[in-house]
């Protein structure tokens, strides 16, 4: 079992829920379009949350991927964000939710 920071685990859970997937799907080797898109969003979200504290090779180890795979996935997701406002809003909401958890807590 790989030890991941809590922010990575939470980010993957929120991204998976957004796509209607199980968090294990994000970490899997599946190459279906839905899983790949969710995984790329998770890469981007984690990069936003953990920069500059963690390097891409470290982030890659948590996803069991090479850092160059993360670079490619992050770039692909950034290009998709420019074309799809829904992706922009959802990814920004996930980052904001994780960065300011008290603001979104239900009493």
**Residue 33 belongs to domain with CATH number:** 1.10.1750.10
Domain annotation covers residue 78: yes
**How high is the pLDDT of residue 72?**
98
42 touches 11 (CB < 8 A): yes
Domain annotation covers residue 18: yes
Domain annotation covers residue 107: no
Q: Please report, in tens digits, the pLDDT of each residue of the chain (107 residues total).
A: 678 889 999 999 999 999 999 999 999 999 999 999 999 999 999 999 999 999 999 999 999 999 999 999 999 999 999 999 999 999 999 999 999 867 655 54
The range of the structural domain enclosing residue 30 comes to 6-100
pTM (two decimals): 0.91
Domain annotation covers residue 26: yes
Number of domains in the chain: 1
**How high is the pLDDT of residue 103?**
60
**How high is the pLDDT of residue 2?**
78
11 touches 99 (CB < 8 A): no
């Amino acid at each position: 079992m790989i030890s991941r920071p809590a922010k990575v685990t939470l980010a993957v859970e929120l991204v998976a829920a957004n796509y209607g997937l199980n968090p294990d799907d994000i970490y899997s080797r599946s190459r279906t379009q839905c899983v790949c898109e969710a995984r790329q969003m998770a890469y981007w979200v984690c990069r936003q949350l953990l920069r500059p504290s963690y390097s891409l090779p470290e982030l890659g180890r948590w996803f069991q991927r090479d850092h160059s795979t993360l670079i490619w996935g992050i770039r692909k997701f950034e290009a998709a964000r420019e074309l799809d406002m829904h992706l922009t809003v959802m990814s920004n909401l996930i980052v904001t939710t994780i960065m300011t958890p008290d603001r979104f807590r239900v009493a």
